[in-house]
Structures are given as structure tokens and as C-alpha cells.
Structure 1
């Protein structure tokens, strides 16, 4: 009788070089440089194609006593035919060194290649699926299908002829590159050298930031949903969806976002959005898992009648009917409606934009890193970018969504030491506040649109005023706060010029001068200084409004030095 401890025959490699698929046309087992063997596409495999549906060769209950494992596997081994035994014994054994110390070759192979089998965490080995290697950007997704009792593998993007079919092991895709490498060395005994792991450092860092943001958003959604407003919970999901889209990644993590969004809005009575989110979840699960998977079927049913959801009726906070869907909207506007995004303020009127660009820079005026230097065409010594915060959702690593002085919407990405944590506290980065970024650098990102890459937290500060108000204050400050000829000042009330020594100065912000009490009342009430005085007590704001940035020779950072000739 053949035992399960026997070694693979000498001709194993040759016997496994034949196509593994049932029809011999979709993939073949081939040598992969640096990986041993793997599955390679022998034809074009469109996104959503089921690559294989495989029954387990052997299984092991999750709670099986350790001492019983050899016996449990031996019983199943007796039912395995010769070809299957040959294939099994040729699989990778990451515990091969343990055999020399008396370990079991068979159990080592099983442990090296086992995957989850159904609910409850039971383990199983699949001969063909075990040949699928890891890639941090795997082009396929595997999942147990309880309806057909098979492990399925589907293409999550188009796979081309000659391309290796890969999956991302464990939760690897949502780990940073350094974390993945550490985990794979410990758990899988290899160092990943895939395309993602060999990206230039700057691109790896950008990708890592987005994965950390997804992790942060997941944590906030899971741990704060019960105590925060539902719109905030929906924002956590919306932000995840946008990051996945920027990464151009459709996987089970992205599908879960739509699943949770459907659950959330339906639980608050919103059947219209619940139907759309269910349709999106169904569509993605169909690609990743197939139309016969329980998850796909579940959300197809939910999309047909979201009112049958077991949490429907718990609240009518967002109550809508399932057919209250504005299909007439353009795609962008439809997404705005779907995620209940706040209507954004209009761009500042052109009349409010300072005519001299030495005051503040728009995004279009910013240089790239390579543009700065003695031989470049960018000749400014220093410059200041202003942007009004458009979204109040703050996660680490921090990205601020802002609108500049010309109405351009973009993001400020924190690549600082703490990635934005405690560097811009939430109370200082509220919706409608304005951030000033000194010597801001324009950057083309690999995953997402161009934006600002901030590396020094000392170069940014938030002011609790809208952008339009700061632009108004610039003109007001330069007319009434800057010294005139012979140290004269313009009265903030009547506008007349007089020697500063003969005028009264605002004792609160030290910014404006007045001829008399009557003029002070005009400035205080008619010109709105009562509202702005408390903000102008901040010396950084006063200096920001008066500084001629192109003329500054010394290095700059917050807190700002008092501008030359300031009030």
C-alpha cells in the first residue's frame, strides 16, 4: 500500500508541464522565473471569466486535534488516485527543512498549500489552485462557493496570453509594501519581487499611503458608526470607493464597500440609494465570484426589492421609495446624489482674486520640483498657495480636498513625518477653513490626479476663514494697514490719510487706524471689522496678508516672521 509519506517520482516535473485546465485552452503549468511553477494564460481571459472551479483534494476541520491530523489526512489519502498523489507530492513545501529533523513531508506540503474551505475556517488543498502564485496586484480572485461546493478563481481584469495568473495571498493587498514583505518572509518563506514591490520608492510610498487610508477608513467605519451621524459613516465608505477607483482595483474589499453602503442607507429608509448600491455590489460580486455565488444572488435579490432587507424600517431618517432614482443626471452628478455629497461652494468670483500674483498662487502657478533651481525658468524666491477646505473628513495619512483662488479643486497630500496626524488638528481643518501652503510643489501622482505633495508640516497652516474672506482682507489690509508715505495711515472708517501718531489704533488686532470714535464705529459695524477682528489677532494671518512673497529672501515657515512694513 502506498503511504502518504512517499516522495514524488523523478519525472514529476515533466508530467506536470501539460495544460491543467479541463479543455486545455485557458492556462498551462509552466516554469516561472524565481517562483518555481505557476499557471500561465494560454488565451485571452476577459475580466470576470471563471478560470477554474475546483473541488478540494483533502480537507481538515479547523478544530482538528493536532495529534489526529496525520490520521485524518491518511484516511483521505487512500481515496486519492496515483496521478493526484504525484501532483500533490510535487507541490511546494515551505517546511522542507523540517523533514531533515523528523518532520512529515506530507503535512508540510498540506500546510504550505492549504486554503480556507467553506465557513468556519476549515482548511483544504486544491491541486490546481495551489499552483497559483502570489502577486501584490494579483489579477485574479479566489473564493469558496458554497452553492457549487468548489473553490472558484475569477479574472478581476483582462489577462493576456502568456501572462501569469496570480492572486494576492491573505490580506496582502491592503498591507503596505514593508508589511507585506515582512509577512511573506515569516509566513510563506519568500521575498516578493513582483512589479509592485519593485516600483520606484516614490510610487510605492504613494500606493502605501492609499492602502493606509483604506485601513483607517475601515477602522473608523467599524468602530464609530454606532455613535456618529449616518452621513459621516457614508462618507467613510465614499472615501474608500474613491481610493479604490484611483488605484484602479476591483476586488472583494471594493465590493464590501458597496455592500456596507447598501446596508447603511436601507437601514435608514433610503430604498432608492439602497437599490443602486445593491446593484453595484451585485455587479462586482458577479465579476469576482460568479453569478452562482451566494453573495451575487443575495444582492441581486436586494436590488429587486430592497425593502426586504432585514434592517429596513429601523429608521426613516433618509426615507425614499425604491424608484426615486434620478436616472436623468449626468454620471458625475449621479455619484454626487448617490453618496449624498454636500453641494460645493461656487468658485470665488474673479474680481476677488488679487491682480498681483506675488500675493497668492493658484495651483496652475505652482512649479514642479524639477522647475526650482538656478537654471530653471521659475524665478520666484518664495510663494504661497491658498486653498479652501472642501471636505471635512480627516484620516491619516491626511489628504486635504481644497479649492484654490481660481476655483480649481485639488488635494494636498501629507508626506510629512506624522502623515498629518496632530500636524493639522481636526478643529483647525474644518469645512470652509482656508489653508496656506508655503512654497507648495505641484506633483503628478501615479494613483490619482495631480496635486500638492507636502513634506514639511511647518509649511502649512489653517485659518478659520473662507477663501473669499481672506482675499477680501488682502485688499483691505493693503489699503488700510500698510504704512503710507511719511508713516501716514489711511483711516479704516473714512479713508482719509493722516499721521499714525494722531490716530487711534484697534487695540484688539493692531491692524487698523481710525481718526475718531465715529470712524471706528464705521469700521466696526459698516465695514465688518467686528467679525474679523478676532481672526486678525493671529500674527500669522496678519503677516500672510502683508507679505510680498516674491520679495522674501530668507527661508520661510510657520510661524511667519512679521512682514516688512507691517502694521
Structure 2
């Protein structure tokens, strides 16, 4: 390969099968700005007649200094037969001047950077500098070719090859496109899923209608991109998507973290003088300046609510609102994922993608299990049983029994104010009197626990503290000591003790006598033992877990 132009970071060299390209002249660290360059001239992208564009470009080329004109004419031309020497070179080498830009630019050096589906550099138009910048998105070894990604969307290999052939008239043979068949299949499956998730997230509908599912989709997309070994603009864009979901629902704590990550990952690609990086840093400092703040207070937090002492894995689970059953052997009844508030329940005549999924686009089934918890505050029994209940947020809701027996199947001794109702797969229903509540039809989907809701939630807290094993260690309910050799309560099977004296202390002094009686109920056990985030079939009270 013959060197034509050289600076301290790269040389421009002839590359077999690729005309010319940029070769690293030294090791280039991730985040390094390899070059920044003014456009030789700008060109419109689409929307103009080919003749008008050709004439406009020809005029610009004609007034160039001779050396620059010759350098332009030395750029590769994939469309010589179709568009001639000038327009063909522009079509082949123009780089976009921003995301969704209507203008492109021709660059004497940047335009020589070749494509790879697994690039090691990122091209970005910097409005502050009015220059195109090229940054290393991973460490580049001396002698490696510097590459960028030409296409606007990442797809599977077949789709990429078609787009590159149509738009640039070449067949890609990069490392990603040249994978062995079995690895290529795995990669293509990842990119198909990334494309699906990106399209779903990008539609914006899930931010309000299914925020938790959309947030989890963003997390899954980032995991897939990481598995593919990519660190391009899709990473900060995904963090910004997560930021928008959080701030839309008043979650300032998580919004701040997501904005910080969007800023830091984009700074690697664009530099600290990038206007987008500066905007992300501003949002990290004050997330509430975003226009979506205040649309919902569903996840309301403050900036001080970011946990400071969690291990990395635990922090990530907090950040992405992962189901607590993933870090505990027992469900947390305070979780609004498995035990949503009434206002977060799906509507009866609407398909919420947070609760339902489809494999064919026509039929839907739950994507997870959920259970509505509320305390009875009033009982009406005219024509049918009607309970007025209060959920964890204090929202008062009617539950009307449309079972075959209209509520007579419920043990009257359990229909008491102060007891807690649990309803599996509850949905919001609009009644003819214009009230909104729950229309209960399936007798096996309801359980009444003889305990006020706050006491049931306190019991859940105890289960989290004294039943959960963490790294092989549990906590004794009698003395609060942590150990790996505790003994389990033989009655309920939930709480653990150092010895007989600790069990007696738990029984007499810490309320386990009453708790144990409750926890022996198979249906209450089910609330703690069910795998809420994995749906295979409907659960019903009275079934064995």
C-alpha cells in the first residue's frame, strides 16, 4: 500500500479492492478525535432534480483551487456510468451533516474513510465547529484501517448487503459480514431483535402506555448491542430513550443517571464540544428542564433518591426497575411491577403492551403475572356483592362481583372492613354509572387475606428480611444475626433462626406466632413464591405452586 497523505494519527493509503482509505499510523485510544474537517462543499440530499444537483455541483467543483479539484476528482466513483465524473463522486462520497440532515458534505480526507458493518470510528457533524469529526469508538491498533458505518439503520447481513449494493455499489466483506454461517445466524438474530426493539421504542407510544416494558426493551437492546461488540451512537441514543421514559413519569433519580450515561457515551463518539453532549450534561444536572417532565408522576422520585451503597448488579436492577423476584427468592408485595396500583392496571378493552404480548399480531396473552392488592373499606350487598377498597396509594375503587353466584361463594366471615383483597390479572372496567373499578368474574382469581393491607405489606417486609438468602447467608429473625447455618421454621418454612432460643424470641417477642399462622396458608404462600415475571399459564388461587 502506498502512502499519499499522512498526519500523526493516520495515513491515507491505497487499499486493494477499496481504492483508498485511512490507516492508523499509531495506536489510537477509544474516544480520540482522529480528525475534524470543514466540508469542501455542501450538497443537498434528495428532493432535487438530478440535473439541477449536477449543475450546482459542477459549478462548485469548477471554482475549486486546482489542487482541491484534482483531489476531489481522485475520490472513488461508484456511479461513473450512471451519473458521470462529478455527481457520481458526490453520490459515492458525501457524508451527512447531522442526524436526519437535508445536506451532505464532501471532505478531502473524511470522505476516503471506508465502510465496515463493525466499524471502529464514528462520524458526526458538529454544529458548534461546523466541522465533521471522526472519533475512535474503540481502541484502534497501529496498521488497522479506520472505518465508519455508511448506512442509517443496522439490520441483518442480507439487508445490509442489499442496502450497500443499492446505495454504494459494493459488496461488503467486513469481519461481521464474513462470519462463519453459525455465528452469522446468531448475529443476524440479534440484529433482527435490535431492529424490532428500536422500531418499537422509537415509535414513542410505549413511553406513556407501557413505560416499564419500554424501559426493559431499552435495557434488552443495550444488552444485545453489547453482545455484538458495538459501541456506536445507538448506545447513547438508547440511554436517552431511557432518560425520556424516566423523566416523563417523574423519576428524576433514574433520569439523572440515564442522562449522565447518555452524555458520557456520546462524548466518546463526539467530544466534549459537541452540542448534543453539552445538552445531555445539562439534562444530567437538571433533568426537570426536559419538556416531558410533569406529564406523569407515576414513578416520582427526587435527585437525592439515587442509591449510593448498592453493589453494581443491585444498582443496575434498581436503575432498570427489574422485578424484585430476580434478586430475591420471594416476591415483594410492595413491588408495583407484580402488584400494580389500580391506576396502573390495564384497561379491560385496551391492549397494554406492558401486560400483554402477541406472537402473531392478532391474539394476545399475558406477558407476566400480576395481582391487585387493596383493603376493604366498605361492603355493599344489593343484587350482587360490591366491595369498596383502597389500594396501596389510597385510591378508592369498587369491585363488583359478576360471578355466577354474584359473590355468595365468598365466605361471609372474610367479607370484613380491614381485610385485604388480592385479585389476579385485574383490569380496569368502566361501569354504566360512569364509575371505574374492577368487574370480578372468576372465583378462583380472588383471595381475601384476614389482615389490613399495611400489615400485609409489613409481613412482606419481614419475608424480604428474614426469609431471603443472599450469597448463602440469611438473617435470624430472633437476634438479627447473619449466618449460613440457620434453621428453618418447620411450620411456615419462611423464617430462619440460630437456635431454639432465637425461635422462641421470634415467636413471642417479634410476632412470628401470628405471621406463621398466616404464612401456612397456601394461597398467601403463592403470592411470595410465584415467578411473577415469567408467564407460562394462568395461576389460580387453590393451585399448587
TM-score range, shorter chain: 0.5 to 0.7
Query: Retained in 2: the 8 A contact 1:49–1:155?
Result: yes
Counterpart of 2:68 in structure 1 is 84
Cα distance change, pair 289–239 in 1 and its aligned pair in 2 (3 A): same
Cα distance change, pair 208–394 in 1 and its aligned pair in 2 (3 A): farther
- Within 2, Cα distance between the matches of 1:242 and 1:285? 17
Q: Is 1:32 the equivalent of 2:12? A: no
Q: Is 1:220 the equivalent of 2:204? A: no
- Within 2, Cα distance between the matches of 1:87 and 1:105? 13
Counterpart of 1:427 in structure 2 is 365
- Within 1, Cα distance between the matches of 2:367 and 2:244? 30
String of CA shifts for 1:501-524, please: whole Å, max 9, x gaps: xxxxxxxxxxxxxxxxxxxxxxxx
Counterpart of 1:195 in structure 2 is 175
Cα distance change, pair 46–330 in 1 and its aligned pair in 2 (3 A): same
Deviation at 1:75, TM superposition (A): 3.4
Cα distance change, pair 215–138 in 1 and its aligned pair in 2 (3 A): same
Q: Is 1:259 the equivalent of 2:240? A: yes
String of CA shifts for 1:431-472, please: whole Å, max 9, x gaps: 59xxxxxxxxxxxxxxxxxxxxxxxxxxxxxxxxxxxxxxxx
- Within 1, Cα distance between the matches of 2:357 and 2:65? 54
Query: Retained in 1: the 8 A contact 2:357–2:364?
Result: no
Match of 2:322 among 341, 350, 359: 341
Query: Retained in 2: the 8 A contact 1:19–1:25?
Result: no
> For 1:104, what is the secondary structure of its paired residue?
helix
Query: Retained in 2: the 8 A contact 1:154–1:289?
Result: yes
Counterpart of 2:138 in structure 1 is 157
Deviation at 1:36, TM superposition (A): 2.1
Map 1:116-127 → 2, pairs under 5 A: 116-118=96-98, 120-127=101-108
> For 1:18, what is the secondary structure of its paired residue?
strand
> For 1:19, what is the secondary structure of its paired residue?
strand
Q: Is 1:299 the equivalent of 2:283? A: no
> For 2:170, what is the secondary structure of its paired residue?
coil
Q: Is 1:128 the equivalent of 2:112? A: no
- Within 2, Cα distance between the matches of 1:293 and 1:81? 31
Counterpart of 2:503 in structure 1 is none
String of CA shifts for 1:28-61, please: whole Å, max 9, x gaps: 0112232222100000100011111111111123
Q: Is 1:19 the equivalent of 2:2? A: no
Deviation at 1:394, TM superposition (A): 9.0
- Within 2, Cα distance between the matches of 1:431 and 1:40? 54
Cα distance change, pair 324–196 in 1 and its aligned pair in 2 (3 A): same
Counterpart of 1:97 in structure 2 is 81
Q: Is 1:51 the equivalent of 2:34? A: yes
Counterpart of 1:206 in structure 2 is 186
Query: Retained in 2: the 8 A contact 1:273–1:325?
Result: yes
Deviation at 1:155, TM superposition (A): 0.5
Counterpart of 2:93 in structure 1 is 113
- Within 2, Cα distance between the matches of 1:325 and 1:226? 22
> For 1:52, what is the secondary structure of its paired residue?
strand
Q: Which runs of 5+ in 2 are unaligned?
A: 331-353, 371-520, 527-536, 538-545
Map 1:345-360 → 2, pairs under 5 A: none
Map 1:166-565 → 2, pairs under 5 A: 166-171=147-152, 174-223=154-203, 224-225=205-206, 228-344=209-325, 421-422=359-360, 427=365, 430=368
Counterpart of 2:55 in structure 1 is 71
Cα distance change, pair 70–182 in 1 and its aligned pair in 2 (3 A): closer
- Within 2, Cα distance between the matches of 1:216 and 1:395? 14
String of CA shifts for 1:8-34, please: whole Å, max 9, x gaps: xxxxx97xx3334xxx21000112232
- Within 2, Cα distance between the matches of 1:231 and 1:428? 15
- Within 2, Cα distance between the matches of 1:176 and 1:215? 9
Query: Retained in 2: the 8 A contact 1:278–1:300?
Result: yes
- Within 2, Cα distance between the matches of 1:151 and 1:59? 12
Query: Retained in 1: the 8 A contact 2:244–2:292?
Result: yes
- Within 1, Cα distance between the matches of 2:182 and 2:229? 18
Structural RMSD (CA): 3.1
User: How many aligned positions are there?
Assistant: 352
Query: Retained in 2: the 8 A contact 1:235–1:393?
Result: no
- Within 1, Cα distance between the matches of 2:24 and 2:135? 13
TM-score (norm 1): 0.57
- Within 2, Cα distance between the matches of 1:340 and 1:218? 20
> For 1:165, what is the secondary structure of its paired residue?
strand
> For 1:87, what is the secondary structure of its paired residue?
helix
- Within 2, Cα distance between the matches of 1:428 and 1:200? 38
Cα distance change, pair 219–423 in 1 and its aligned pair in 2 (3 A): closer
> For 2:111, what is the secondary structure of its paired residue?
helix
Cα distance change, pair 423–168 in 1 and its aligned pair in 2 (3 A): same
String of CA shifts for 1:182-240, please: whole Å, max 9, x gaps: 22222211111111111111111111111111111122223441562321221121111
TM-score (norm 2): 0.60
> For 2:299, what is the secondary structure of its paired residue?
coil
Deviation at 1:69, TM superposition (A): 2.3
